Amino acid sequence: MTIVSFATSAPELIVSLNATLDGFSNFAIGNVLGSNIANIGLVLGIITIIYPISLKQRFYTSDFPLLLISTCIFYFIIFTGNQISRPEGFVLIFSITAILLYLFIYQKKSISEFSDNFDRSKISISKSFLHIIFSGFLLWLGSETLIKSAISVATQFEISQRVISITMVAIGTSIPELAASVVASLKKQNDLSIGNLIGSNIFNLLVVIGITSSISPMYGIENSTIYNDMLWVVLFSVIILPLALVGRKSVLTRKKGIMLLALYLIFIIPLLS
């Protein structure tokens, strides 16, 4: 919900920030919304098919409510003016700060238990900083290439920035979530896989858009983004709860994973056709 999610959301942050600074606000918004949809429909669907996920009590009391609150805050902001101003970006950053404080203060016990199981002897601070700097450079270089290539494809085939960003680009920036969650699922670390996806979606809405709009306000957001794409984000955010309650309670089975994948195809195929 915190560190892994922030790391796997880094591509969305770099891509969205670069796109907004280049004047492509709809591209940035589409990337984030498409990534959130892909995280639940595509990634969660795939990892659930690989190995069913058992949900713990904190999914109902903490993880899911925080995802719902974050989605509602973002939708309210984007719905009230077809733009995300600098003050609204600060509101999003304040919201994620409050969520992080809640997670670290009220969930301190579970965090300390995770830390106790971590082998600190494998940590090298100098190597860690070098990896961060090198990886950050690669992220920036990759995002520049991704944006220019995607816009070139969109222009050549007369596809809107919104469609190309919410499909191809969103899937590309969701690869880290897929990799992290698949590895966690194969190791049967259910908390890490589902927590990574929920946390990543929260970070995308509050941190990625919050930081991006605080630096460069997003104007002229398309109505299709507000009245179509955002509704899909809400649907994919909410649908986890009924899936958890029907059939085998608190277990996301393979059948439920297939349902998520099918729903994702229903979303994406009309956009690509």
The predicted model gives 214-239 an average pLDDT of: 89
Q: Name the strand (E) or helix (H) holding 157.
A: none
Q: pLDDT tens, 26-55?
A: 888 888 899 899 999 999 999 898 888 888
155 vs 158: CA distance, rounded Å: 5
pLDDT tens profile 119-167: 555 667 788 778 777 877 777 677 667 777 777 877 787 777 778 888 8
pTM of structure: 0.85
Domains and CATH numbers, the chain: 3-113+146-272 (1.20.1420.30)
- Comparing C-alpha atoms, which of 154, 156, 182 is closest to residue 30? 154
Entry field: residues in the chain: 273
